[in-house]
Amino acid sequence: MESTANVRHLDLSSNRIGREIPGLEKHHYLHSSHLFSYSALLLANNRLSGAILTSFCSASSFSVLDLSFNNWSETFDVSNNNLTGKLPKSLGNCKSLALLNVRNDDFEGSFPCMLPLSLRILVLRSNRFHGDLRCSKSWPNLQILDISLNNFSGNVEPLNFSSWSGGIPDAIGNLSSLYLLNLSRNVFTGGIPESLGGLTELGSLDLSSNKLTGRIPHELTELGFLSILNVSYNDLTGMIPIGRQFQTLSADLFEGNAGLCGFPLDRSCSRPPRGPSEPEDDSMPSESKVGEIE
């Protein structure tokens, strides 16, 4: 029999292997002393459940690790790696999945609509996801949604969250559990949906570095727990709303919008604010220059 030291691939897929991975480690080939010797470990299409074993992350010899088509639950965190390709559709089988974090990887493809309704935290930050947001469902338990630093696009005004079709969905305001929403550094267009004022638990809203236009909805002043509102580096216009938490926000959270005026910016609304492409009027006092984001 070939010794395990010479075994480079182990294929246990399409069997009836059950229980959680810690119990599976009792298998001779899955003791940690053997686990790290494989270049490919295939465990797809079994009955594995529970949390994915964290020691997999220490197996630097892996070139292929296939855990698809099982019954994983709880959390899936593979952030800060060099993972590429598309998210596996089999994640939709994780009916108890609460957290998906792929921050700072190199995934691509469209928004992962296959994710289960149990999802509470979704972090796609800093990858190469792209395209319009098109999904036929929503996630009623979602509390944190961070899809910043990608290439998502589309108009943000007339959209319905349960049938995404382009940008910041209008009916996203129905996600009453949401307390962090980060859509920054994409290419969203259109206006900020008034329905965001319905996110009564929201504490942080980051819409910065997009191509949003129009006014900041007054409805956002109703968000009593809001401590961060970043709309910098868009093409917003008009007076910044007055009320509640808005009075505690700093000017840098609004900079990069030449058409905005009012507190906390040092720009009076006594005259119509300049449009994004309009030159300054030399007959009026010079406004402070807006810095550019690095």
What's the pLDDT tens digit per position in 63-112? 677 776 676 658 888 888 888 899 988 788 888 889 999 999 999 999 89
Q: Which of 139-143, 150-154, 209-213, 241-245 has the highest mean pLDDT?
A: 209-213
193 — pLDDT class (breaks 50, 70, 90) = confident
The reported pLDDT for the residue numbered 213 is 95
More confident residue, 206 or 71: 206
Where is pLDDT greater, at 151 or 33? Answer: 151
Amino acid 271: pLDDT: 59
Residue 203 is predicted with a pLDDT of 93
| Average pLDDT estimate for 128-133 | 86
pTM of the model: 0.69
Whether residue 69 contacts residue 92, with contact meaning beta carbons closer than 8 Å, is answered with no
Q: How confident is the model at residue 163 (pLDDT cuts 50, 70, 90)?
A: very low
pLDDT at 204: 94
Q: To the nearest 10°, report the CA torsion of 182, 186, 192, 193.
A: -70
What's the rounded Cα separation, in Å, for the pair 291 and 121?
Answer: 33
| In the chain, ranges of CATH 3.80.10.10 domains | 71-208+223-231
pLDDT at 161: 44
Topology classification of domain 71-208+223-231: 3.80.10
Pairing of strands 259-261, 235-239: parallel
Please give the mean pLDDT across all residues of the chain.
Answer: 76
Hey, CA dihedral for 16, 21, 27, 29, is it positive or negative? Answer: positive
Q: What whole-number distance in Å separates Cα of residue 155 and Cα of residue 165? A: 8
Please give the residue that has the higher pLDDT: either 264 or 293. Answer: 264
- The per-residue pLDDT for 89 is 85
Query: For residues 188 and 208, what is the distance between their CA atoms, to the nearest angstrom?
Result: 10
Distance of alpha carbon 228 from alpha carbon 258, whole angstroms: 21
